[in-house]
């Protein structure tokens, strides 16, 4: 559809615009790129590219600015080129930094966001491992004092969840332990989302003696599981967006930052898109949420074994250094997966 010259010109404009954030004129192209044609020709081609929807003009006598469609073309091309190139030296460099302070998954993700934001100079986001599809590895009750019991649930994705709850009926340590063991036998290995009231009734049937206690424990477990679905968000470099001239407008900046601060939005943003691709990119108007309709979001999966359990991403202006962002995001995501594998062990 686009002939070679148009493509070259379009890429030249995109590259220049990514650097300068200023509309690009025909003379700028002739000066900076040796395309062997005059500025008038470039002008004609630019006019065509505008008609085709790849370029926009801020006003009639200004230079051109790439459209979202142009970035899409550019990025799709870039992804193809990038695939085989992994800079292993850089990956190890990042890994070294990550390993230094990441003995727990939450630290790991926080640090990943930090380092990613530092390398790319865009805002970085990470979401903690999600429980959907996870299995219970351990559930146990421990008496803390006469009336308080600590419940701990560990998932095979490495998430640990504690709840302290009160029991009104006095209960002995032995009884608690019996129940704890029984719950563990029943629930260990089960997918988290398979635990429901039927199962609870099952359990009660088997040990009717403890019905009262079980009855009070079940809601605690359910609440805990609810909480466990409630993933955490790690953000870093939120204010980086203020460095870009397109966010000199306070109202825009405020909208953006408020959006990033809104946990529910970000969870939805990161988890409610497809996870088929390793790297997902949504550019400007492709984004569902209004506050980021002139941003680009790049996300990558991280895994435990071969199962995708979470995401990390960068978000910045559509005029973003996609090459840098994509490649570094990819390196960080690989490292996260590797380190999680290390922390949780290969056997599951």
Q: Report the interface residues with DNA, using CB under 7 A.
A: 22-28, 36-41, 43-44, 46-47, 50, 57-64
- Any contact of residue 144 with a second copy (CB under 8 A)? yes
For residue 38, the partner it binds in DNA, a second copy, none, with Cβ less than 5 to 8 A by kind, is DNA
One-character DSSP codes across 181-219: HHHHHHHTT-BGGG--HHHHHHHHHHTGGGHHHHHHHHH
Read off the DSSP letter of residue 239.
G
Residue from the set 182, 207, 238, 271 that interacts with a second copy by CB under 8 A: 238
For residue 63, the partner it binds in a second copy, DNA, none, with Cβ less than 5 to 8 A by kind, is DNA
- Any contact of residue 264 with a second copy (CB under 8 A)? no
Q: List residues bridging with 161 in a β-sheet.
A: 153
Nearer to DNA, 57 or 223 (CB): 57
- Any contact of residue 164 with a second copy (CB under 8 A)? yes
Tokens of 163: 């709840």
Residue from the set 77, 239, 277, 285 that interacts with a second copy by CB under 8 A: 239
Piece in contact with a second copy (CB under 8 A), picked from 75-83, 91-99, 195-203, 243-251 = 243-251
- Any contact of residue 253 with a second copy (CB under 8 A)? yes
Q: How far is the CB of 20 from DNA (least distance, A)?
A: 9
End-to-end CA distance of the chain: 50
CA dist 292 and 286 (Å) reads: 10
Helix axes 68-82, 4-20, angle to 10 degrees: 100
Q: How far is the CB of 302 from a second copy (least distance, A)?
A: 18
- Any contact of residue 181 with a second copy (CB under 8 A)? no
Q: List residues bridging with 280 in a β-sheet.
A: 299
Closest CA to 125 of 267, 255, 227: 267
Q: List residues bridging with 140 in a β-sheet.
A: 152
Q: How far is the CB of 254 from DNA (least distance, A)?
A: 21
- Any contact of residue 78 with a second copy (CB under 8 A)? no
- Any contact of residue 250 with a second copy (CB under 8 A)? yes
The dihedral through the CA atoms of 88, 92, 94, 99 has a sign that is positive
């Amino acid at each position: 559809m686009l002939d070679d010259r148009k493509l070259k010109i379009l890429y030249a404009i995109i590259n220049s615009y990514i650097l300068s954030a200023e509309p690009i004129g025909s003379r700028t192209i002739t000066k900076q790129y040796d395309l062997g044609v005059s500025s008038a020709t470039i002008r004609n081609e630019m006019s065509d590219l505008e008609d085709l929807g790849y370029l926009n003009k801020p006003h009639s006598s200004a230079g051109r600015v790439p459209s979202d469609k142009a970035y899409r073309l550019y990025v799709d091309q870039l992804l193809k080129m990038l695939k085989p190139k992994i800079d292993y030296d850089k990956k190890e460099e990042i890994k070294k930094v990550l390993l230094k302070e990441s003995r727990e998954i939450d630290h790991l993700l926080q640090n990943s966001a930090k380092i990613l934001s530092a390398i790319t100079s865009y805002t970085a986001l990470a979401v903690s491992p999600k429980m959907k599809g996870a299995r219970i590895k351990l559930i146990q009750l421990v008496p803390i004092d006469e009336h308080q019991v600590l419940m701990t649930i560990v998932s095979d994705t490495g998430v640990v969840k504690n709840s302290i709850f009160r029991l009104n009926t006095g209960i002995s340590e032995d009884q608690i332990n019996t129940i704890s063991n029984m719950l563990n036998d029943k629930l260990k290995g089960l997918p988290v989302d398979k635990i429901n009231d039927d199962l609870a009734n099952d359990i009660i049937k088997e040990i009717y003696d403890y019905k009262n206690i079980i009855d009070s424990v079940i809601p605690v477990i359910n609440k805990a599981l609810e909480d466990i679905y409630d993933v955490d968000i790690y953000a870093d470099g939120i204010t980086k967006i203020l460095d870009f001239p397109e966010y000199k407008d306070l109202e825009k900046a405020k909208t953006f930052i408020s959006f990033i601060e809104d946990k529910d939005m970000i969870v939805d943003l990161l988890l409610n898109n497809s996870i088929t691709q390793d790297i997902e990119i949504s550019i400007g108007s492709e984004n569902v949420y209004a506050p980021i309709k002139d941003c680009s979001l790049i996300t990558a999966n991280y895994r435990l074994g071969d199962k995708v359990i979470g995401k990390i991403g960068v978000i910045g202006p559509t005029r973003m250094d996609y090459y840098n962002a994509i490649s570094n995001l990819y390196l960080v995501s690989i490292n996260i997966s590797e380190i999680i594998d290390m922390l949780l062990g290969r056997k599951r």
